[in-house]
Structures are given as C-alpha cells and as structure tokens.
Amino acid sequence: MPILISLFSAFLTLSASSAEASSPIRLKTSDGKSLVAQYERVSGAKTGVVLVHQEGRDQSDWTRMAARLKDSGVISVRPDLRGHGVNVKGKPPELTEDDFKLMTHEVRAAAAYLAKMGATEVVCIGASVGANLCLRAAASDLGIHSVVMLSPGMNIKGVTTVDALARYTDRPLLLVASEEDKIAARTAAVLEERANTAVHFELLSQAGRGTKMLNRDGGLEGLVVSWVLGTFNLQAGESSLLKGTLSNPGSVETTGTKLGE
C-alpha cells in the first residue's frame, strides 16, 4: 500500500508539472484586445520565442516546434492572431488589410510577456503573414532580438516588409523559402540583399510553404532551433549574435542552396 501511495503521489506531481509547462494565457494588446495564446514554460529559461502562424491557420501549427524548443530549454508563446483560432466565436470574420496590420500588437504583447517571464533574449518566428508581422513588430520593438521568416512576402494581406527592414538593424535575420514558392524565394532574396544586418538565407527544394517546410525538410527544424540557441554560425563566420548559453543541439544539417549559387 505505501508503494502504491508513493506511485500515485509521483503521478500527481508529474501531472501538475506537465500542466504548468504548457498552459493557455491571455495577452492584453496595446490597442485593447484580449487574445488567447499558448505558453510553454521552462523554469529558469532566459531565451524566449514568439511563434506567429500564417493567415487562415492557428497556433497549433507550432505545437511540435514549441515542444522542441521546450526540450532545448526555451520558453515560447504562440498566439492565435485576432480573427483566428479560439479568438473566433461563431462564423470567422472577414478580415481586412487593416485588421492584419494591427496584428503586430499581439506579436509585441507576446514578446513583452516572455520578457516578464524572465526571457532576456526574445526571438520571433513567423510563417507567411506571420513572418511579415514578426519583422514589422521587431522594427519598432528592440525587445525582439532576432527574427526568423519562413516564406516571407513583399506584401501579404497589406503587411509589408521592405520598409520595415530599413528599421530593423543590428539584429540577426534568418530567411527561409522553398524554391518552387517563387514569390517567397524572390522576396527572401531581396530582403537578404537589402538587409543592413547579419543575415542568412536558406533556400530549400520542394519543401512547400510556411510551417509545412518544417515537416518536409529534415534539417530545417534543427536549423531554426540552433539559430534560437545562438549556436548557428553565419556563412561569413559570424555568430548569429544571440548569447548561446543553453545546451548545443548538436550538428545541424540543412538542404538546398542559396539563390544565385
């Protein structure tokens, strides 16, 4: 009987710990919205990641990446953007370009939440319009220390990038696109050329678009985690500038070639 009690107590402790590790939260934006997000908690973590989904999707696209980051000692917040996911009651609304432009508010709110939870380095990772939102949010928020853009566009739903890039300085930028996604590949090439900062462009082959690339390319997930941890080196030999104080995920293999090679 004492053994059974001990096992039951251990189970309850483990269940409570798991519940604490991943939980829904509400983000209060500066324009007065209260939006639901998912928070992955890691005790003592100093690196945090905002994961921003693409248009018409929701935060669940990032479930696997959030788990991988947590295993690497990184906390994360993945918001459902306004008009998406559990923030929608009933029929989904018809979102305008103005609605999408306002979504930078929840990106900045998520970054602020991570800082409140103890993160001293915050990375924003986005897919498609989420990638554009990350760059625009970081352009006006120095609390975002690095940006990862999966399948960016020049203008997605009214959310533009080239003008934001001019204000995004002194911080590293990772661009990822698949070569058959011609708009994203061309956009990434332009952003790489015009960036006045440390930048790396990873061009993949037959990997799809947005978060689909994480499933279709075996090396991409490891590359992104390495970038977040600060263990990825840029082609020129420079560090990605993040303070890589967490554990090294090991060697990272990527596929594809840079555009123009």
d(CA 233, CA 98): 37
* pLDDT for the residue numbered 91: 78
Give residue 244's Cα distance to chain centre.
17
Average per-residue pLDDT for the chain: 85
d(CA 190, CA 234): 18
* pLDDT for the residue numbered 245: 30
Selected residue with higher pLDDT from 88 and 152: 152
Whether 8 shows a pLDDT value over 50: the answer reads no
d(CA 108, CA 72): 23
3-state secondary structure 37-84: EEEECCCCCCEEEEEECCCCCCHHHHHHHHHHHHHCCCEEEEECCCCC
pLDDT, tens digit, 9 for 90 and up, residues 177-230: 999 999 999 999 999 999 999 999 999 999 999 999 999 999 999 999 999 999
Whether 139 shows a pLDDT value over 50: the answer reads yes
* pLDDT for the residue numbered 21: 63
* Angle (deg, nearest 10), helices 220-229 and 63-71: 50
**213-251: string of b/e by CB count within 10 Å (b at 16+)?**
bbeebeebbbbbbbbbbbbbeeeeeeebbbebebeebee
d(CA 153, CA 88): 26
Whether 3 shows a pLDDT value over 50: the answer reads no
Instruction: Write the DSSP assignment of 152-176 as a string of letters.
Output: --SEETTEESHHHHTT--SS-EEEE
Confidence of residue 29 (pLDDT cuts 50, 70, 90): very high
Whether 160 shows a pLDDT value over 50: the answer reads yes
**Could you tell me the CA-to-CA distances from 133 to 3, 17, 108, 143, 248 in Å, in that order?**
53, 33, 10, 15, 29
Task: Say which CATH topology domain 22-229 has.
Answer: Rossmann fold (3.40.50)
**pLDDT over 90, % of the chain:** 72
Low-confidence winner among 1-15, 123-137, 138-152, 209-223 (lowest mean pLDDT): 1-15
* pLDDT for the residue numbered 235: 59
